[in-house]
Amino acid sequence: MAVLAVVLGISVAAGAAEVDGRERRQQERIAEGVQSGQLTPRETARLERKEARIHREIQRDRAANGGTLTPAERRRINRQQNRVSRQIYREKHDAQHQ
């Protein structure tokens, strides 16, 4: 039983680190797009709003669960982050430039 608790604890910590790291990397990608001129101010604002919404959801979910995310919440957040990641790529590689 103690082994299961340790494994679950490691899994929860790994999931939290993954979500936080992903959030940070996507913010870095947006900043790089701004710096390189690949993102227009309008595109940047839209992506930042989407990232902020996901961040608020993560904070709300963690507050409701004692600082952790449930597996279902992690899956939902991951899907949302995947969607925004694709949008970041598309916006950085479209024909619009600053």
**What are the pLDDT digits (tens) for 44-95?**
999 999 999 999 999 999 999 999 999 999 999 999 999 999 999 999 999 8
Residue 8: pLDDT band (50, 70, 90) is: low
pTM for the predicted model, two decimal places? 0.81
Residue 2: pLDDT band (50, 70, 90) is: low
Q: Which residues of 42-76 are buried (b: 16+ CB within 10 A; e: fewer)?
A: ebbeebeebbeebeeebeebeeeeeeebeeebbee
